[in-house]
Structure 1
């Protein structure tokens, strides 16, 4: 029973030291992945690595492993060697200084500690360039072997410097346990690095897929009007064509060219970044401008635009805001077959502004509604879907949210919500 208690006690302290080290490694990769500041320069990454490894290094010394009456040990050399292998001397030197200062503050000065860790610093730094060039499996084996060799060298150095007694517990805890711990930590680090690389590659592949899809769709959409223009231009070369027919062909060709320009404009708006400069926007004034621009278009289609606009102010870019709702309201007008109306309303709450655009058009099925905003999905015969994509992108860039409800034969309602800008 006594031996069982002893083993449980030993395992608890060893696992505590390993816990400090592993948590610091996970924390390093978390900050590196989510805080862009650390991705800008390698010096920032090294600084983060030093800080993250210093914490377990100090905690291992503060809470050591009490394994036997003749041996008090800790795993401080594990984060020190990990930093040395992966970071070279630029990481190892700050860690060495922190280790020696912390050791002096906690337990006083001891020459043997300085000698051992200076030796580890020198040989570990020389080993680092070779270590970095190895693949994952070989890194694990090499790190374990190097840690074991350094432990043997440290033992020989300690015996040479002072009357150092090598006990059984020392052999287990200083020579055998650290290589296994380093192997385990290196495996965890390599796994995390692979996960980040795989995710980065997946993001790049996804972007490339979107770009290729956009390029293919753009070329297809532009080719159609250009083909029409080419056909009519060839017809106009005929000798027996009257001036009236030529004029008709010319008007059709110009309409197709205008359509090609509109497609290019939508694509450029979607592709280019949102401007950083923003300003207070009076929602009711901006929407009134959009309505005034679209009213002739609505009259041609026999559609009424019914506004209910409350005064409200948000922060954003006026040009993009108008383009966003021009696309949304225009889609509502085009969705109406015959007579009908598009209702544009503004509702102001305590902290938000909600703009509701409701049309009396043909509506969408659940499947069509789920695909709204996808690249080149449109319910219109000659639609490209870019207008919806542009509108959604602008809403998101202005920190807004949107929801859409639609039912086949009963129209569509789109609600867009922005943060209210309080007037001072």
Structure 2
């Protein structure tokens, strides 16, 4: 029974990188980094060596070989060397009868881990086989070395050495590698769908912007032709030039705002005013609303609403909700989207986006924000999923009210900063 408890504890330590990955990267669009792998493996190695398995004083077993192999597969050789230094330092500090055996086993298993990790990265077709060989090797090598150096110990503790130790290493490496790979592949799939969603949004907005930009350019062209007429007065010429300058400025603003949603978002958070962000998004989405025969109506109290956020992420969030609202009422006559922004109890900023569109059923309301759910035939739902995650990561909240055939209202609350 004691062996089972110790094996289960070591398996728990082996899953630390997987658990921390799911916690830390849950609301992030980025995938794991080598620094993350190194830090989590160091934590895992320290914990497993501190609460090691042992049936004889001085001879200890833990999940070290599994962690080193995992660290080299996902973090590279640098991570492996850092873990090697950590193990050597801590094992020497622990000391005991099995120190010499541990060093010999480490020399063999470390070099084997280097070889297997290289094969794992280069031979994707044989990854399951390589993982199996790694688990088998990390179970057999320690027993063989100990049988040569401490044969009496191996014979006296056959159950632990030939049952508990192989299960601990083989099952540990299989669980950690397979679960971590699954989590990483799911994140990559999410990123792919997210990029497709963003490209689709940009394509839709670009089509309406092209139409909107053409209007001021046509006006500028007309006024320039008038200016060539020598019969008009200097005052009128200057007036026409002023109009041309204003139209070009308006075009520049529209294009600048459009480019800001197309460029990659950086993970830098800063204190920012929500009102200008909303105004810039309205400039972007107005042509799209016009193209869909939908009226945009904006209300705000004119005061500053400061939050801590990434401007590009907030801009994309607002675009996602407003675009969805426009599309929800594009197929009805007199479609309208009303956007309100105001402080709420001096604690949070409240953004309300109301449309008089097709509405949502109770079943659709329950599934809103879940990955890959969309009410649109060609939608993936990833944009809305990311928006929900972003709101929660900022300690905000979102509430939805909807009636089929009458419209939908999203109420977003984001905490204000002092």
CA distance in 2, matches of 1:95, 1:187: 24
Structure 1 residue runs of 5 or longer lacking an equivalent are 1-11, 66-72, 104-112, 157-165, 227-257
Report the counterpart of residue 337 of structure 1 in structure 2: 333
Aligned to 1:182: 165
Aligned to 1:147: 142
State the Cα distance separating 1:208 from its structure 2 match. 3.2
Partner of 2:301: 309
Is 1:118 paired with 2:113? no
Q: Does residue 77 in structure 1 map to residue 72 in structure 2?
A: no
Secondary structure of 1:276 counterpart: coil
Structure 2 distance, partners of 1:78, 1:289, is 60
Alpha-carbon offset, residue 315 of structure 1 = 1.1
Name 1:27's counterpart in structure 2: 16
Conserved? CA contact 2:274–2:305, under 8 Å: yes
Q: In 2, are the aligned partners of 1:279 and 1:317 still within 8 Å (CA)?
A: yes
Which of the pair has the greater relative contact order for Cα pairs under 8 Å at 6+ separation? 2
Cα distance in 1 between the residues matched to 2:302 and 2:138: 68
Match of 1:48 in 2: 43
Shift of 1:419: 0.7
Deviations 1:148-202 (A, max 9, x none): 222222225xxxxxxxxx5xxx555445522432211112222211211132123
Structure 2 counterpart SS, 1:337: coil
CA–CA distance in 1 between the matches of 2:256 and 2:372? 14
Q: Equivalent of 1:202, from 186, 209, 224?
A: 186
CA distance change for structure 1 residues 363 and 187 in 2, over 3 Å: closer, same or farther?
A: same
Distance 1:421 1:150, change over 3 A: same
Deviation (angstroms), 1:138: 2.5
- 1:397 deviation in Å? 7.5
Match of 1:346 in 2: 342
Q: What is the rounded CA distance, in whole Å, between the counterparts of 1:266 and 1:132 in structure 2?
A: 48
Q: Quick check: 1:355 aligned with 2:351?
A: yes
Q: Secondary structure at the match of 1:48?
A: helix
Q: CA RMSD in A?
A: 5.6
Equivalent-residue separation in structure 2 for 1:323 and 1:172 (angstroms): 65
- Stretch of structure 1 that moved more, 319-328 or 177-186: 319-328
Please give the alpha-carbon distance, in whole angstroms, between the structure 1 residues aligned to 2:207 and 2:282. Answer: 32
Residue of structure 2 equivalent to 1:7: none
State which of 406, 409, 412 in structure 2 corresponds to 1:410: 406
1:233-248 residue pairs with structure 2 within 5 A?
Answer: none
Give me the TM-score of the superposition, normalised by structure 1: 0.56
How many residue pairs match? The answer is 337
- Structure 2: runs of 5+ lacking an equivalent: 26-31, 70-79, 117-129, 211-249
Query: Residue 18 of structure 1 corresponds to which residue in structure 2?
Result: 7
Higher radius of gyration, 1 or 2: 1
Q: CA deviation at 1:346?
A: 2.8
**Cα displacement string for residues 380-421 of structure 1 (whole angstroms, at most 9, x for unaligned residues):** xxx999998998798578654333323344333221111133
Q: Deviation of residue 97 (structure 1)?
A: 0.7
Q: In structure 2, how many angstroms separate the alpha carbons of the residues matched to 1:79 and 1:400?
A: 42
Q: Write the mapping of 1:62-141 to structure 2, written as runs, cut at 5 A.
A: 73=56, 76-79=59-62, 82=65, 86=69, 90-100=85-95, 103=96, 113=97, 116-130=98-112, 133-134=115-116, 135-141=130-136
- Mapped partners of 2:50, 2:162: distance in 1: 20
For 1:221 and 1:343, locate their aligned partners in 2 and report how far apart those are by CA, in whole Å. 18
The separation in 2 between residues aligned to 1:172 and 1:303, in whole angstroms, is 83
SS in 2 for 1:364: coil
- Alignment check: 8 A CA contact 1:332 1:342 kept: no
Q: 1:173 to 1:268 in 2, by over 3 A?
A: farther
Q: Aligned runs of 1:197-276 on 2, under 5 Å?
A: 197-211=181-195, 269=261, 272-273=264-265, 276=268
Matched, 1:193 2:188: no
Alpha carbons 1:147, 1:182 under 8 Å: kept: no
